[in-house]
A and B are shown apart, each in its own frame.
Chain A
Amino acid sequence: MIYAVIWDNLPYLAEGAAITVALALTLLVIGLVVGTGLGLIQAYAGWPLRLAATLIERFFRAIPAIVLLFLFYYGISVFYNISAFPAAALALGLRSAAYQSQIIRGAIAAVPAGQLAAARAIGMTRAAGIRHVVLPQALRQAIGPWTNEALSELKDTSLAYTIGVVELMRQADYIVSATYGHQLAVYSAAAVVYLALSLAANWALTRADRRLAVPGLSH
């Protein structure tokens, strides 16, 4: 009967898993775009922008994820009718951006200065050299640390439960209430789904890392 509970509720678990994956992907893309921007600013911009970027980064790293979720959901609700999913994607995405900016900044610093000098020596502007020479190398080098960040964010999507996003954990909770129990079986099933998602993500990213490998640029 325990198996029957899981089996019967598999579609709900799958629905929850789909939301979890969608949230993870959305927040990671937000984090990548904003984080790359912050990382570039911290690496190259003048001090006022650098200071601003650093303040943003510190802010999102210092505040607990749950507080950010509440701020972006209940806080924004005061003046704008935001729903739970975008609020969660923004809160967790911007927090991820803060972490990703550190990864990007480190990867940029690891690109030898001679690379940009060589780009400039053939007449490329500084911006073009950064875009076509430094950044491609930095992003390539960032895949390793970025994998850790992605797996960590995948788990943290479960925090969106607290503002009512119907992701995997909340679906599990619904199943527990609807079936009057089976906590151990249902939460174990949720744990197995997280494990499977995490393994799949790790496999995909490791594969990408290998496929994009360039002799002399691997770590």
Chain B
Amino acid sequence: MTDATRLRAEHLTKSFAGRRVLDDVSLSVAKGEVKGIIGPSGAGKSTLIRCLNGLEPLDTGRVWLGADELTARKADIDALRARIGFVFQDFNLFTHLRVADNLMLGLRRVRKMDAVEAERCARAELDRVGLADKWQAWPAELSGGQAQRVSIARALAMAPEVMLFDEPTSALDPQSVGSVLRVMRELVAGGMTMIIVSHEMAFIEAVADDVVFMADGAIVEEGPAGQLFNTPHAAATRAFIDGIAAAHRGEATTP
């Protein structure tokens, strides 16, 4: 491990009801690095990324955030999790709170900021995702794309050292996808350390430094984005990428 390693996972295994969902998965992301995770449905991508911030308990394996081990017996998992941003596929904005309070809940309760500082911080993050005018809105009043950008702002407000995205655009209509990807591109440009699970192949190829292809709970192949997409080593990787490309062509030619 170099000093630049932000998040590191070693030999993760996890089973649901006797079925192996993660099978000896190791992965690490360096400071400022963007890692893409792709793979077919059921490959274990969500399970993996949820294990990385302890939302899902592991069977075996270890996870470090910088020098701190999340899987250590005496780890303050809540404090560590506050340093990891997580963006869910279906946003999970707090339904009973306005956008403002969605952003401020963690600042007040976890970061223990006073009301003035929390508001200043929350407004800055909401502005960053282009939704300053939604300060007083209820989550149910937002479009999918807006809700996802608010959820990104909520995560960013905690000043995370690394951001994890689990298919952030999969629940969105095509028009909203662009607005969320734009925000994510700005994060990449700002040097944020990110792990992104996504089916948006073009986006992953464009922003990721490194891409991991997962299938059946294991990492099949990992490599630089350009290499993995254009000259994959494994037949399974090629089949998956070709399949996605074919699906996209089909979509484009369908009237």
A interface residues with partner B (beta carbon < 8 Å): 112, 114-115, 117-125, 128, 132-133, 136-137, 140, 214-217
Cβ of A10 to closest chain B Cβ, rounded Å? 44
Closest to A141 in B: B96
Count of A-B residue pairs with CB < 8 Å: 78
Task: Tell me if B86 counts as interface (CB < 8 A to partner A).
Answer: yes
Which residues of A are found within 8 Å of B86, using beta-carbon distances? Answer: 118, 121
Interface size on B, residues (CB 8 A): 29
- CB-CB contacts below 8 Å: B29-72 with A: 53, 55
Closest to B101 in A: A132
Contact B94 A115 (CB under 8 A): yes
Contact A115 B55 (CB under 8 A): no
Cβ of B85 to closest chain A Cβ, rounded Å? 8
Q: How far is the CA of A122 from the CA of B101 in the complex (A)?
A: 13
Contact A118 B82 (CB under 8 A): no
**Cβ-neighbour of A117 out of B55, B110, B140, B141 (below 8 A):** B55
Which residues of B are found within 8 Å of A123, using beta-carbon distances? Answer: 78-79, 81-83, 106, 110, 158
| A217-B78 CB under 8 A given contacts A114-B90, A122-B105 | no
Which residues of A are found within 8 Å of B109, using beta-carbon distances? Answer: 124, 128, 132
Task: Tell me if B92 counts as interface (CB < 8 A to partner A).
Answer: yes
Which residues of A are found within 8 Å of B55, using beta-carbon distances? Answer: 117, 120-121
Closest to B151 in A: A118
Contact A216 B106 (CB under 8 A): no
6 contacts between A and B (CB under 8 A): A114-B88, A118-B88, A119-B105, A121-B84, A121-B85, A214-B95
Task: Tell me if B214 counts as interface (CB < 8 A to partner A).
Answer: no
Contact A118 B94 (CB under 8 A): yes
Contact A136 B96 (CB under 8 A): yes
Which residues of B are found within 8 Å of A122, using beta-carbon distances? Answer: 81-82, 105-106, 110, 154-155, 158
Task: Tell me if B144 counts as interface (CB < 8 A to partner A).
Answer: no
Contact A216 B140 (CB under 8 A): yes
Contact A216 B138 (CB under 8 A): yes
Contact B96 A140 (CB under 8 A): yes
A-contact 0/1 string along B136-180, CB 8 Å cutoff: 001111000000000100110010000000000000000000000
Which residues of B are found within 8 Å of A216, using beta-carbon distances? Answer: 95, 138-141
Task: Tell me if B93 counts as interface (CB < 8 A to partner A).
Answer: yes
Contact B92 A215 (CB under 8 A): no
Which residues of B are found within 8 Å of A115, using beta-carbon distances? Answer: 92, 94-95
Contact A137 B78 (CB under 8 A): no
Contact B81 A121 (CB under 8 A): yes
Cβ of B231 to closest chain A Cβ, rounded Å? 36
Q: How far is the CA of A215 from the CA of B147 in the complex (A)?
A: 14
Closest to A123 in B: B82
Closest to A128 in B: B109
Which residues of A are found within 8 Å of B155, using beta-carbon distances? Answer: 121-122
Which residues of B are found within 8 Å of A214, using beta-carbon distances? Answer: 95-96, 138, 140
Closest to B139 in A: A216
Closest to B137 in A: A215
**Cβ-neighbour of B96 out of A124, A125, A128, A137 (below 8 A):** A137
Q: How far is the CA of A14 from the CA of B155 in the complex (A)?
A: 57
Cβ of B65 to closest chain A Cβ, rounded Å? 12
Which residues of B are found within 8 Å of A114, using beta-carbon distances? Answer: 88, 90, 92
- Most chain A CB within 10 A, of B83, B85, B86, is at B86
Which residues of B are found within 8 Å of A119, using beta-carbon distances? Answer: 94, 105
| A217-B96 CB under 8 A given contacts A121-B155, A125-B78 | yes
Closest to B157 in A: A122
Which residues of B are found within 8 Å of A117, using beta-carbon distances? Answer: 55, 88, 92
| A124-B106 CB under 8 A given contacts A114-B88, A215-B140 | yes
Which residues of A are found within 8 Å of B88, using beta-carbon distances? Answer: 114, 117-118, 121
Contact A124 B95 (CB under 8 A): no
Contact A121 B53 (CB under 8 A): yes
Closest to B105 in A: A132
